[in-house]
Amino acid sequence: MDRVGIRRVVAGALLLVSAGAVLTAFMTRPWQLVAYWGVLIGLGSGCLTMTFAAGVTARWFDRRRGLVTGALSSSSHLGQLLFLPLLAGAVERHGWRPPVVTLALVALAVAALVFLALRDHPADIGVKPYGAREFVPKPPPAAGAAARTLKVLAAALRTGPFWLLAGMFVICGASTNGIMWSNWAPAAHDHGMRVTSAASLLSLIGVFSALGAVLSGWLTDRFDPRRLLTVCFAVRALTLLALPLVFSAAVTPPMLLFVFVYGLVDVATVPPVIELCHRAYGEDGPIVFGWVNAAHQLGAGASAFLGATARDLFGTYDVVWVALAAGCLVAAVLAMAVRGGAHRPAVRNRAGYPGRD
């Protein structure tokens, strides 16, 4: 994004998603699923995760950054609301190929819209960033942008806040999309729930995740983001502990209560972590958050695999929910250890960032 601009990155990422989905529809070998869906769609969707939200917010907004990142974070879960029930129903009626092709066509249409309407910087349309007092000229394309990301990582690795934030986000990824997006349907199947009902509940989690992300962004602008993170992880731990007790074949009121509470804290961790990266690392905050978000995805990938493995070993997901709840309690403690939550600290170490050498 620093080198070629936001618009080209987003359009290119959507084209990767579209190409991966189209090729998946015609696959004939298992390795092709890994290549098309895992690699192509993985790369494309990875470019559109929370690092994108952090980059856009840093360029376009000087005020209300928490609220904006919350709104952008909620968008992926609004996608769940729109697509999951429809795609699940289409799979039951027509098989899996037509929904995959539909996804490809939607991604292609949005890529065209992005290329026509999205701009890289407020200066492109002659306006100031929201809340800024002065006009901000568009910076030139960054030379050596890839090298800068590695240099920023090397510097951040020498600071305590990075390891705390990355550790929290490993647990965050493991306890949200890592386990839910990959293992929710088989876990529901173990309890006798229909696929469409499971998809509808996951979609409903997306609805409340969107609301929770916006609310979290609003709160991040007003309160210590460390305390907000602690509350989010503690509540998530309680919901995961309760899940084995409320899971059933039918959609019951306790199950809906779990969906509501878990959904509210699902993505609520993103705005405060982005804000903490901004406070601790200044201009490098979006890049540092990109690396922290990479830790989130590593945790998610490990959880998707290990959760399924535990199910095969123990015959149930109950041990997985308890283990992830314990991890969330650890993350709640780590959140309060991050320095610079209420105010940006003045002491800086040899790497140029706040914290210990």
125 contact partners, CB below 8 Å, separation of at least 6 = 119
301-348 pLDDT, tens digit per residue, is 999 999 999 999 999 999 999 999 999 999 999 999 987 544 443 334
User: Distance between CA atoms of 329 and 179, rounded to whole angstroms?
Assistant: 17
| pLDDT of 340 | 55
| pLDDT of 343 | 41
Percent of the chain with pLDDT strictly greater than 70: 94
Whether 343 maps to a domain, the answer reads no
Whether 53 maps to a domain, the answer reads yes
Low-confidence winner among 98-112, 118-132, 241-255, 256-270 (lowest mean pLDDT): 118-132
Give φ, ψ of 324 to 5 degrees.
-70, -35
Output the pTM of the full model: 0.74
Count: domains in the chain: 1
Whether 350 maps to a domain, the answer reads no
Query: Which of residues 19 and 75 earns the better pLDDT score?
Result: 19
Whether 137 maps to a domain, the answer reads no
Whether 292 maps to a domain, the answer reads yes
Whether 355 maps to a domain, the answer reads no
For residue 87, what are the domain limits? 6-131+144-337
180-214 pLDDT, tens digit per residue, is 888 888 899 888 988 888 888 888 888 888 888 88
DSSP string of 29-56, one letter each residue: SHHHHIIIIIIIIHHHHHTTSHHHHHHH
Whether 348 maps to a domain, the answer reads no
Give CA torsion, residues 5, 10, 11, 13, to 10 deg. Answer: 120
User: Distance between CA atoms of 221 and 219, rounded to whole angstroms?
Assistant: 5
| pLDDT of 227 | 93
The CATH number covering residue 203 comes to 1.20.1250.20
Query: Which of residues 286 and 311 earns the better pLDDT score?
Result: 311
Q: Which residues pair with 348 in a beta bridge?
A: 354
**pLDDT of 215 strictly over 80:** yes
| pLDDT of 97 | 86
Whether 347 maps to a domain, the answer reads no
User: Distance between CA atoms of 11 and 7, rounded to whole angstroms?
Assistant: 6
115-168 pLDDT, tens digit per residue, is 888 888 888 888 888 888 888 888 787 777 788 889 999 999 999 999 999 999
Give CA torsion, residues 315, 327, 184, 187, to 10 deg. Answer: 20
